[in-house]
Structure 1
Amino acid sequence: MSIASSAFLATIPSPDRGVWEIGPFSLRAYALCIIVGIVVAIWLGERRWQARGGTKGTIIDIAVWAAPMGLIGGRLYHVITDNQLYFGEGRDPVRALYIWEGGLGIWGAIALGAVGAWIACRRRGIPLPAVADAVAPGIVIAQAVGRLGNYFNQELYGGPTDLPWGLEIYRRVSPDNPAVEDPLGGVAINDVPVEVVHPTFLYELLWNLGVALLIIWLDRRLRLGHGRVFALYVAGYTAGRFWIEIMRTDPANEILGQRVNVWVSVLVFLGAVVYFVLARAKGPREEPETLRSPDDPDYPDSGDGGAAGSPSGTAESDTAESGTAASGDGDAGTGDAEAGGPATRPGSASSDVDTGDDGAATENTASTENTASAESAPAAGDPGAGGPPEKPGSST
């Protein structure tokens, strides 16, 4: 065992490369991690959405809009805040499009991804805050998976450290020309580290997983709704990003001596906390009926005898299920002669008209005889005499 390897035995080795050439194709670890993260976020979000009563397949459909817009937003934020890497003397602006080389700003990804999700929710007729609550844990887990891509790229690390979990950084060169440095697409020339640093990408990965577990637990315990789970995710993530960002040593633009992302973390954290507090006034979690798309086979439909088209079960559902004075299940208007007298709907006006056996219309007056016969008749909606009346709004 060499002296160098024994000296760094307790540290974390970096991969010798982040790109593998397979014929004419380049397999990039960073891109694979992003794809895996998106798949995990969709899978978990779909499960949580269905558990809350939402329509199956909704999160997948929303991801068709949100995922690509999120990638575009993430790249735009990175290019804008680190424009010196792509524009200026000696720079190649075309490389701003090379998303597979790394460089996605989570702030832009969430912002533009939310726009895509809003469009999809509008098309499906479902509330965006409820969708955000369902996908929040999956998003932060996807961020954790994405940080593995930074590990393969040997990027986003902190300053030097002698801690046991320090990360070894290797010198990488171009496979075609060993004289050319290539930290992203190159191959390590040996396993002797040029420095040992804080693995800030790993700190953020572990923090993100902790945030995911926390918000899942709180959601189950408190039954949060109206975007409050998403607000907790944002607050939890930015709290960790604040101190992790301060530890990073990669080049970044600064404002008042602090990295841009430090300030963004503070502002977004405060906004998330304010929203979490104010959204409490919206009341309990959304009812499952409000999460179903109109094209859902189980979507409430007054024509099927279930809940009415109004998801919350309003007067329409009462009319459809409990019967009306004109045409209930027990034919209150025309078939009450079997019970021996005209039936009147409770609370109806004294001018209601019923039809008896002989076909003649008799006016319902306030006389004792008609009152007695009305009391002896079955209630509207009863399937026969003597049966208990249905509770308004109950399903059949």
Structure 2
Amino acid sequence: MIANTIEPVLLDLGNFQVRYYGIIYALGFIICYLFLRSYIKKGKLKGLTENGLDDLMVYLLAGTVLGARLFNFVFYHPSVFWTDPVEIIRIWNGGLSFHGGLIGAALAAYIFAARRKINFLEIADAISVPAALALALGRIGNFTNHELYGPLTIVPWCVVFMTAEGCRHPYQIYASLSHLVLFGILAYVYKRQKKAGTTFLSFVTIYGAFRFMTDFFREEPRLMGISMGQFLSLIMLAAGLISIIKRRKN
């Protein structure tokens, strides 16, 4: 048994709190920026300069946060819209949906690419690699925030969280490890891909599969044995596989 004694709040300023969760997510965006800048220097992102990268990161940040936040409340906590709408802007409290963040980031990148006349798939490929690493860090953020824990268990590595009773599966750690594996796979694919879009579709497909499996160790409401996150991940998996098959046929 392991006790998670990490205090989520690093600095409390009254109405505003600095949480490890927020710091870790900010670190994730910094990692993405550094990776993309490296790709630009290596000539892997045609038409994108370092100045343009700054603009792209603004698009991605806005799209990711907006999409992740809206999805979280629309699909998981819709009552917040009329009970406590101000909570929607308190992103430091947690509550970011990956699937919404992915859609928001993809739309933002597409709009940016269209305006700059850059190949969207090249941008999506480049973002996918560091995004997997950022997601691994994000799950550690969930761990420090004492959220998204797993069901009760008696395994030796079970964790006691401040916000839940009993000893539980550390789902956040399982998910983080799966994202690290995904990062390694995508880095390999991106280095050897010959057609734009290969890495991005690999991300969509493999993430969907990994998320579906690891979410069995996450405590949340289920319908017919699967959660909303698993349902959305199955859609990702199916969409990715169909797209890959169509590309191979063409």
TM-score, normalization: structure 1? 0.58
Tell me how many residue pairs correspond in the alignment.
Answer: 246
C-alpha offsets along residues 28-85 of structure 1, whole Å, 9 cap, x if unaligned? 1111111111111121123234422534314332121121111100000000012255
Using a 3 Å threshold, how does the CA distance of structure 1 residues 97 and 60 change in structure 2: closer, same or farther?
same
1:152 corresponding residue in structure 2: 144
Trace 1:328-347 onto structure 2 (pairs within 5 A).
none
Aligned equivalents of 2:53 and 2:237: distance in 1?
26
Cα distance, 1:169 vs structure 2: 1.5
Cα distance, 1:264 vs structure 2: 1.0
1:75 corresponding residue in structure 2: 69
Aligned equivalents of 1:155 and 1:22: distance in 2?
19
Using a 3 Å threshold, how does the CA distance of structure 1 residues 130 and 84 change in structure 2: closer, same or farther?
closer
Unmatched tracts of structure 1, length 5 or more: 1-7, 171-182, 184-192, 283-396
Q: Does 1:226 align with 2:196?
A: yes
| Two-structure CA RMSD over aligned residues (Å) | 2.2
Q: Does 1:103 align with 2:95?
A: yes
SS at match of 2:18: strand
2:174 corresponding residue in structure 1: 203
1:293 corresponding residue in structure 2: none
Task: Give yes or no for contact 2:25–2:134 (8 Å, CA) kept in 1.
Answer: yes
Cα distance, 1:118 vs structure 2: 1.2
Using a 3 Å threshold, how does the CA distance of structure 1 residues 82 and 23 change in structure 2: closer, same or farther?
closer
Task: Give yes or no for contact 2:186–2:199 (8 Å, CA) kept in 1.
Answer: yes
2:7 corresponding residue in structure 1: 17
Cα distance, 1:255 vs structure 2: 4.0
2:208 corresponding residue in structure 1: 238
TM-score, normalization: structure 2? 0.89
SS at match of 1:148: helix
C-alpha offsets along residues 337-375 of structure 1, whole Å, 9 cap, x if unaligned? xxxxxxxxxxxxxxxxxxxxxxxxxxxxxxxxxxxxxxx
Trace 1:366-385 onto structure 2 (pairs within 5 A).
none
Cα distance, 1:220 vs structure 2: 2.4
Aligned equivalents of 2:126 and 2:213: distance in 1?
27
1:261 corresponding residue in structure 2: 229
**What is the identity percentage for the equivalent residue pairs of Structure 1 and Structure 2?**
24
User: Post-superposition, which runs of at least 4 consecutive aligned residues in structure 1 deviate over 4 A?
Assistant: 22-25
Using a 3 Å threshold, how does the CA distance of structure 1 residues 208 and 119 change in structure 2: closer, same or farther?
same
- Which of the numbers 41, 60, 72 marks the counterpart of 2:32? 41
Unmatched tracts of structure 2, length 5 or more: none
SS at match of 2:201: helix
Paired amino acid for 1:229 = T
Cα distance, 1:122 vs structure 2: 1.6
SS at match of 1:159: coil
Trace 1:1-396 onto structure 2 (pairs within 5 A).
8=1, 11=2, 13-21=3-11, 26-51=17-42, 52=44, 54=46, 55-57=48-50, 58-84=52-78, 86-87=80-81, 91-170=83-162, 183=163, 194-221=165-192, 223-250=193-220, 252=221, 254-280=222-248
Question: Of Structure 1 and Structure 2, which has the larger fraction of its residues in helix?
Answer: 2
Aligned equivalents of 1:85 and 1:275: distance in 2?
36
Aligned equivalents of 2:88 and 2:13: distance in 1?
25
SS at match of 1:141: helix
